[in-house]
Amino acid sequence: MKTEENIEKGSKALTDGLQSSNLVILGSRPGKGKTSLALNIALNAAVRQQGVVFFFSIEMNANSILNQLQIMQKWILEEEMDLKLVENISESNYILTDTKLVIDDNSNMQIGELESKCKRLKVREGRVDLVVIDYLQLFNTEAASSSMIKPNWRGQEIAEVMRRLKQIACDLECPVLVLSQLSRESVKHEVPILSDLRDSEAIEPFADLVLLIYENCDPSVVLIIWR
């Protein structure tokens, strides 16, 4: 597929919105803005569309996320809001004021715990419109906590996490957006390709859509690879 076609489809996908029950991967090289883009999507969904959004951050703490949201709202919201975090002690997470954007910054999040929290949020709010996970390779799988873990099991672990994330998307009937690293081999390609995803063999069978951020001499653009 030509780069121009990818760019056009990528722009259209973000404009039209993420589809219900889809498991979507957003990948990029380090420092290319995948977390910022994911936060942009989450804030838009929570404020402009008044959606119920669950943002799981395994990499950044809640205060760092709030700082980013406070900066980016000037460009993506029609009027500036006084964004603050309110702690939800019973669920060990935070809610962004005047929205239904829930932020969970548990760095030791396991897939079973994520499943349970998503189900409880749906029971409490009646629906969940978007789940965002930053990012896949930092996931603390149940097997990873075992002393029996072997290095060559990692691909199987990622595949199992992907399978269960796809099930979450289907159960909640909402898109699940998962951020992913690219492999070191990706530097060989000027424009990233699907196989550049780290753990791509475990990711590809379950992903409905893969978005890759590509930065050239122009402003960053998002490429899309349809499956």
- Per-domain residue ranges of the chain: 3-226
User: In the prediction, which pLDDT does 3 show?
Assistant: 46
Question: Cβ atoms within 10 A of the Cβ of 84, count?
Answer: 12
CB 38 within 8 A of CB 132: yes
pTM summary value: 0.86
What is the SS3 assignment for the chain? CCHHHHHHHHHHHHHHCCCCCCEEEEEECCCCCHHHHHHHHHHHHHHCCCCEEEEEECCCCHHHHHHHHHHHHHHHCCCCCCCCEEEEHHHCEEEECCCEEEEECCCCCCHHHHHHHHHHHHHHHCCCCEEEEECHHHCCCCHHHCCCCCHHHHHHHHHHHHHHHHHHHHHHCCCEEEEEEECHHHHHCCCCCHHHECCHHHHCCCCCEEEEEECCCCCCEEEEEEC
Distance separating alpha carbons of residues 217 and 191, to the nearest angstrom: 12
Using omega within 30 degrees of 0 as the cis cutoff, is the peptide bond preceding 135 cis? yes
Residue 199 corresponds to which tokens in the numbers above?
């753990």
Spatial separation of the C-alpha atoms in residues 109 and 146, rounded to whole Å: 15
Query: Which has the closest alpha carbon to 6: 191, 135, 138, 152?
Result: 191
What's the pLDDT score for residue 2?
Answer: 42
pLDDT at 82: 83
Low-confidence ranges of the chain (pLDDT < 50): 1-8, 10-11, 15, 144-149
CATH number of 3-226, picked from 3.40.1190.20, 3.30.540.10, 3.40.50.300, 3.30.420.40: 3.40.50.300
